Amino acid sequence: MAGWNRGLRVLAVASLGVLALAATHFYLEWALLTDATLRRFLFGGLG
Amino acid sequence: VSEIAGEVLRAPHGGLLLVACLAAILVQVGVLAVQGLRRSADTAALSLNVAGALSILVMLVVGGWSTSAARALMTAGFHDESASQKATDLSDSISGQLNALPLMATVAMLALILWLIGVNRALERRPSGGARRAFAALALFGGAALAAGVGVVRWSARLIATFAGLAGVDPSEKGPILGRALDEGHATFRSDARVAYVALGLATLVAIVLAARGGSGTPAPAAPRRSSTVAPLLVTGGALGLAAVLFVLTGPMRRENALPWPTPSSGDDVLLVLDVLTPEVRGPDPLERAPVVEVFNDKTLLDGAPCDLESLGDKLRTLRSYYRMLHPTGRFNGSAVLLVDYSLPIDRFVALAHTIHDAGYDRPLLTFTKVETLWRPVFGKVRRVVATGARLKLLDHADIEAAGADLAGQGTLGTLLVPDDLDIYDDLAKKVVALRNAGGAVALNLGKPPAR
């Protein structure tokens, strides 16, 4: 039972790590959209 | 700080973002203060830390809202009819975004550190090793997330410095300078992002090791708890589900940021007009800043405003006098940007040419547009109108008489075209472009003005 609980705990921690990675990935790509917005401005023209 | 606050206020909902930033910090300070007062209490109040985390989350959501609105304002600015409103929108949007992003990142990092101190305080009086392990994992993830924040601040600061350095730079140089700064900034952003991902990966590994080793040295709970099985499963399911949602939402943004853009416009070869079906040719002459005359089969526009032939002449004379007032020592070069429907009958073109010639614009630039369309993962359909030109000298009967015999055939003014040989404007444009491409000057003999 102790091994089972430990396994679940490890799984939970690993999935929190995956969530942290996904959230950071989301945030960084979202922030970088400002770069894309500026490039769209440099491209010129219309929407 | 006041400068940054002033710039953030220019972004949509900037005031709300400043309040949210202040609140996120004050809540963490408040939590620490309350914890200090309750030091003797038996149970630590984790609910306060939950409130602290929520205040950071609210700040990030408000910042995301404000920044997204600033980006939308930038795109909407392309459609503003007023040039001054367009400039204001673009300036507010760029400045708002570039200052809101580092402000959010800095406040989030500071608030996160204060929050972790608060969580540590709340957990340190709990006897179980589980609490300490949980804090260690949180601290590891938080520390790794700081790397992402530092990267965003570094990248924004670099772009802000670039924009500040653009003041006084020749307009034609601004685009290339900004383009280079974006390329270099993009590379360092990606490199800092890799550091953050590696840090998060290492933090996860260490947290897993801590979780795997935990339990052996700590005393077993007094009674088995059902939650010891259910809680980790809930955490696993919730975290993986949320991660999957975030991953899907990130997809278009990742593709947008990875997809290269074509060569930036120099700014002078792009027109904000779409409707005129100009001849399908490419002229050798670059566009100039000059009054833009759009001629359709059923209407004429000057700088976007409708007018008839008579008022066109009056308005062009007014613009010419403005030019002379603004450039008292400069020479008026007689240029106007002419965008004419390819199917316009040549006699109507000649009548128009007389009007602009008589207003002093005797060297118009016949201008030809080509629409470039892109499909972008986030922006969707994006279009620009690239324009090229072919210079044409206009001569009426008085000019011809004054110039005398030189103008017969291949004279000093280059090839002299006669409208009688042409049917529609497309015929004229193709001849002018062919002659200009061959390197020669081209003039059009307008003859006597039409009777009015």
Which structure tokens are listed for B158? 């670099």
Cβ of residue B370 closer than 8 Å to a chain A Cβ: no
pLDDT tens, position by position, B13-68:
999 999 999 999 999 999 999 888 776 554 556 788 899 999 999 999 999 999 99
**Residues of B (230-249) whose Cβ lies below 8 Å from A:** 231-233, 235-236, 239-240, 242-244, 246-247, 249
CB contacts, 8 Å: A3 with chain B: none
- Give chain A positions within 8 Å (CB) of B253: 26, 29-30, 32-33
Which amino acid makes up residue B287? Answer: L
Looking at this protein, which amino acid is placed at residue A41? F
CA distance B266 to chain A (A): 8
- Which amino acid type is present at position B4? I
- Phi/psi of residue B38, nearest 5 degrees: -95, 20
- What residues 258-277 of chain B have any CB closer than 8 A to a CB of chain A? 261-262, 264-265, 267, 270, 272, 274
Amino acid occupying residue B282: R
- Average pLDDT of span A14-27: 93
- Cβ of A21 within 8 Å of Cβ of B204? The answer is yes
For B327, left (φ over 0), alpha (ψ -120 to 50), or beta? beta
Tell me, rounded to whole angstroms, the distance of Cα B437 from its chain centroid: 35
**How many CA atoms lie less than 13 Å away from B107 in the CB half-sphere?**
31
Tokens standing for residue B400: 């011809």
Whole-number Å distance between alpha carbons of B57 and B206: 26
Partner-chain contact B235 A36, CB within 8 Å: no
Other CB atoms within 10 Å distance of the CB of residue B81: 9
Backbone angles phi and psi of B305, in degrees to 5: -100, 135
Question: Helix or strand or coil: residue B323?
Answer: helix
Per-window interface: B 276-335 vs A, CB < 8 A: none
Closest chain A C-alpha to B372 CA, distance in angstroms: 9
Which chain A residue's Cα is nearest to B63?
A31
- What's the rounded Cα separation, in Å, for the pair B400 and B412? 12
Cα angle value B177/B179/B183 (rounded, 5°): 120
Task: Decide if B204 touches A, using CB distance below 8 A.
Answer: yes
Q: Do B256 and A11 touch (CB under 8 A)?
A: no
CA triple B389-B393-B399, angle to 5 deg: 170
Taking one residue from A and the other from B, the number of pairs with CB-CB distance under 8 angstroms is 210
Torsion of CA B309, B311, B316, B322, to 10 degrees: 180
Orientation angle between helical segments B346-358 and B425-437, nearest 10 degrees: 60
Q: Closest chain A residue to B143 measured between Cα atoms?
A: A20
What is the model's pTM?
0.79
Q: How far is CA B153 from the centre of its chain?
A: 19
**Residue A28: enclosing H or E segment and its boundaries?**
helix A2-43
| Residues A29 and B254: beta-carbon distance below 8 Å | yes
Nearest CA distance, B2 vs chain A (angstrom): 23
Write the DSSP assignment of B156-216 as a string of letters: HHHHHHHHHHTTTS-HHHHHHHHHHHHHHHHHHHHHHHHHHHHHHHHHHHHHHHHHHHTTS
Cα–Cα–Cα angle for B370, B273, B324, rounded to 5 degrees: 115
Collapsing DSSP states into helix, strand and coil, what is residue B293?
strand
Contact B200 A20 (CB under 8 A): yes
Q: Output the average pLDDT for chain B.
A: 85
CA–CA separation, B353 vs B364, rounded Å?
9
Verify whether the Cβ–Cβ distance B270 to A5 is below 8 Å.
no
Q: Which of B207, B233, B254 sits opposite A29 (nearest CB)?
A: B254
Contacts of B257 in chain A (CB under 8 A): 29, 32-33, 35-36
For A31, which of B78, B101, B270 is closest by C-beta distance? Answer: B101
Q: Do A20 and B204 make contact, defined as CB atoms within 8 angstroms?
A: yes
* Distances from the Cα of B334 to the Cα of B107, B289, B291, angstroms: 56, 11, 10
Burial environment of residue B354 by CB neighbours within 10 A (0 to 12, 13 to 18, 19 or more): buried
> Is B65 within 8 Å of chain A by CB?
no
Distances (CA, A) of B5 to B8, B16, B17, B70, B402: 5, 11, 10, 15, 65
Comparing CB atoms, the residue among B145, B233, B384 nearest residue A44 is: B384
Cβ contacts (< 8 Å) between B174 and chain A: which residues?
Answer: none
What pLDDT shows up at residue B215? Answer: 57
pLDDT for B406 equals: 57
Q: Which residue bears the tokens 């620490």?
A: B32
Token pair for B347: 């006699």
Q: Taking CB atoms and an 8 Å cutoff, what residues of chain A touch B203?
A: 17, 20
CA atoms within 13 A on the CB side of B13: 19
- Tell me the pLDDT of chain B (452 aa) as tens digits: 677 788 888 888 999 999 999 999 999 999 999 888 776 554 556 788 899 999 999 999 999 999 999 998 887 766 666 667 777 888 888 888 889 999 999 999 999 999 999 988 888 777 666 777 778 888 888 888 888 999 999 999 999 999 888 888 887 788 888 889 999 999 999 999 999 999 999 999 998 988 888 654 444 444 445 556 788 889 899 999 999 999 999 999 999 999 999 877 655 555 656 677 899 999 999 888 889 999 998 889 998 889 988 899 999 999 999 888 888 877 888 899 999 999 999 999 999 999 999 999 999 999 998 888 889 999 898 888 788 899 999 998 888 877 765 555 445 667 888 888 889 999 999 999 999 999 888 999 888 877 65
